[in-house]
Chains A and B, each alone.
Chain A
Amino acid sequence: MEMEETEILAKLKNKFPQQVKETFISLGMEVAVIDKEALFEVMSFLKEKPQDYAMLLDLTCVDYLGEEPRFEMVYHLFSLSSNRRLRIKARVSEKEPRIASLTPLWRNANWLEREVYDLFGIEFVGHPDLRRIFMYDGFEGHPLRKDYPLRLRQPRIKFRK
């Protein structure tokens, strides 16, 4: 059983020795930290058979204010045939907040990446239509960053009192 679980991590390490920075198992889930430049190749490798991670479960970002690089992109993949989940993490710095887009591989990455762009400000290279999804046009700033205050309201119309 343990051989099976760490198999995918070993495979990743063999195929991309420089780009995979570390692999570990956290609370029953396999995690791999990779270089952000190699994201698209690693994801394409994981999507095709026999690894067959056919579903992109989730795509999100965590803001570590004060650390450098500041943002960390987190991807959750799921394989229906082998019933296993995998987490891929990649760090993105604040000076160059750009990372490759996964829209050619999975179609729900379209809206997920728009959400991360809206709330964190990370640009996705190759996204067909990158604009805000939750906040309205004219909203300045990216709300979920740690330096955006919680109650800073930007009203859209004039209030009565």
Chain B
Amino acid sequence: MPTRIEREARPESLLINMGPSHPAMHGTIRIMLELDGEKILNSEVEIGYLHRGFEKMCENRTYFNLLPYTDRLNYVSPLINNLGYVMTVEKMLGIEVPRRAQLIRVLMSELSRISDHLTCLAAMAMECGAFTVFLYKIKAREFIWDVIEWTTGARMTTSYIRIGGVRADLHPDYRPALEKAITETRQVLKDVHGLLDKNKIFLNRTRDIAVIKPEEAINFGWTGPCLRSTGVYYDVRKAHPYLVYNELDFEVPLGERGDNYDRYMVRMLEMEQSLRIIEQVMAQLPASPPEIMADGLEPYEAIKQARRQRPEKPIKLSPNLEGAEKHRYPEILCSDRRYVPPPKEEVYTTIEGLISHFKFFMKGHGIRPPKGEVYFAVEGGNGELGFYIVSDGTDKPYRLHLRAPCFHIVSALEFLIKGHMVADVIPTFGSLNMIGGELDR
């Protein structure tokens, strides 16, 4: 079946296919161009090459089990997707998260946002030819991923933010690693500003290319850095504040013209603001989290003792179970026992703990929100990342829909590149930050 552009093309023009497997490091997408020499007359964008059936998989998994699927949506900023999903479920359940967990969530979320912008601009610059910028930014990203790995255990797809709080507390030595990451990122941003901001070649390729006006951008449903580059002031963190964003002091950079250069600049300035937020959060967190219990009963002794009476002394758990100790709980997880798994000391030694652990993970029991529907949005790397969940009272969601920000942004690609040359497709496509996992779900 011929595609739309094949049906509509004029017989004397040239049809070029930028196929699903292409060098641009963003994802699989197919762009078909109808050319007159080098000028683009018409174009068609075909997506769906990474449709992994996320929404249908979620209907067959419990609320707790589908957390790893949400990581793999916007895979350059995975903790923000986690956060969006978890906050939607928490809104439906109506639970309150402790303050330390909220601060840790903001910290992780801003680290993810920096990693997202670094990757997007690195890929965009590499495709324009600036290979050094790519290497510098990926280097800075490695330091950020080190910090994330020390706390969560994984570099990218972490499943760290859980319903009710976070999985484990920050690593005891997180401060030096985080400060190194911040210094390195600032240095890299300074270098890249010097390399690209007034670079004549970069300006020629990105200034006044793919301009979009604010009304058109709103009509297309754009949000996030792409919308802010046209001059519209809309940031979910300021408009509908969640977590502790209303207490933090940060600015929202705006662009003027809505071209590729403004999208690049807005992202660079947003990274600086995210670093400011991280420093403020670091100042508010206490110096170091409470140490893992160094002395206490061994688990096998505690279990033997528990046969006769409840053990009074604290139990020394294995480091694998970090985050599940009783004394950590009030700070990182909410205390409502219906929605979080119980601490491991109670599971091993008391019968009530064992029963609540069993019932939390058993099919048919566990987290069962009341019947109804909810929509909640957080500020993702690309814009407003919204989750719409319909619940029918059972332990699996009846319908889970993701409002993917880059779906709306990429739907404007055909409009943006019309009339430009073939070589302009590359920086335009790069500046839109298309992430395949979010676009195709």
A residues bordering B, Cβ < 8 Å?
26-27, 29, 54-58, 60, 62-63, 74, 76, 80, 83, 85, 87, 106-108, 110-112, 115, 119, 129, 131-137, 143-144, 150
Excluding A55-B219, A134-B51, 4 further A-B contacts by CB distance (< 8 Å) are A55-B223, A63-B399, A107-B221, A135-B51
Which of B60, B234, B372, B411 meets A27, CB within 8 Å?
B372
A143 and B386 in contact (CB under 8 A), knowing A58-B403, A87-B375, A107-B411? no
Q: Are B398 and A62 touching (Cβ within 8 A)? A: yes
Q: Are A144 and B386 touching (Cβ within 8 A)? A: no
Top-8 shortest CB links A-B: A108-B221, A134-B48, A134-B51, A111-B411, A58-B403, A60-B401, A108-B408, A62-B399
Q: Are A27 and B221 touching (Cβ within 8 A)? A: no
- Closest CB of chain A to B151's CB: distance in Å? 31
Question: Is B334 in contact with chain A by the CB < 8 A criterion?
Answer: no
| Cα of A61 to Cα of B48 in the assembled complex, Å | 19
Give B46's nearest chain A residue, CB to CB. Answer: A133
- Closest CB of chain B to A60's CB: distance in Å? 5
B residues bordering A, Cβ < 8 Å?
1, 4, 47-48, 51, 53, 55-57, 60, 91-92, 216, 218-221, 223, 232, 234, 239-240, 372-375, 384, 386, 388, 390, 398-399, 401, 403, 407-408, 411-412, 415, 440
A107 and B386 in contact (CB under 8 A), knowing A58-B401, A135-B48? no
Q: Are B220 and A108 touching (Cβ within 8 A)? A: yes
- Closest CB of chain B to A85's CB: distance in Å? 7
Q: Are B388 and A26 touching (Cβ within 8 A)? A: no
Count of inter-chain pairs, beta carbons less than 8 A: 86
| Cα of A87 to Cα of B220 in the assembled complex, Å | 18
Give A132's nearest chain B residue, CB to CB. Answer: B48
Q: Are A106 and B48 touching (Cβ within 8 A)? A: no
Chain B residue contacts of A107, Cβ below 8 A: 216, 219-221, 411-412, 415
- Closest CB of chain A to B70's CB: distance in Å? 17
| Cα of A143 to Cα of B223 in the assembled complex, Å | 29
Which of A54, A111, A134 meets B219, CB within 8 Å?
A54
- Closest CB of chain B to A100's CB: distance in Å? 18
Q: Are B407 and A80 touching (Cβ within 8 A)? A: no
A27 and B92 in contact (CB under 8 A), knowing A60-B401, A85-B375? yes
- Closest CB of chain B to A93's CB: distance in Å? 18
Give B415's nearest chain A residue, CB to CB. Answer: A107
Q: Are B372 and A56 touching (Cβ within 8 A)? A: no
| Cα of A133 to Cα of B4 in the assembled complex, Å | 12
Chain B residue contacts of A111, Cβ below 8 A: 407-408, 411
A27 and B374 in contact (CB under 8 A), knowing A83-B239, A134-B440? yes
- Closest CB of chain A to B201's CB: distance in Å? 33
Chain A residue contacts of B390, Cβ below 8 A: 62
Give A58's nearest chain B residue, CB to CB. Answer: B403
A108 and B403 in contact (CB under 8 A), knowing A80-B232, A129-B4? no
| Cα of A141 to Cα of B129 in the assembled complex, Å | 44
Chain B residue contacts of A137, Cβ below 8 A: 1
| Cα of A151 to Cα of B415 in the assembled complex, Å | 37
Which of B48, B240, B403 meets A136, CB within 8 Å?
B48
| Cα of A47 to Cα of B373 in the assembled complex, Å | 24
Chain B residue contacts of A80, Cβ below 8 A: 218, 232, 234
- Closest CB of chain B to A91's CB: distance in Å? 14
Chain A residue contacts of B411, Cβ below 8 A: 107-108, 110-111
| Cα of A41 to Cα of B98 in the assembled complex, Å | 46
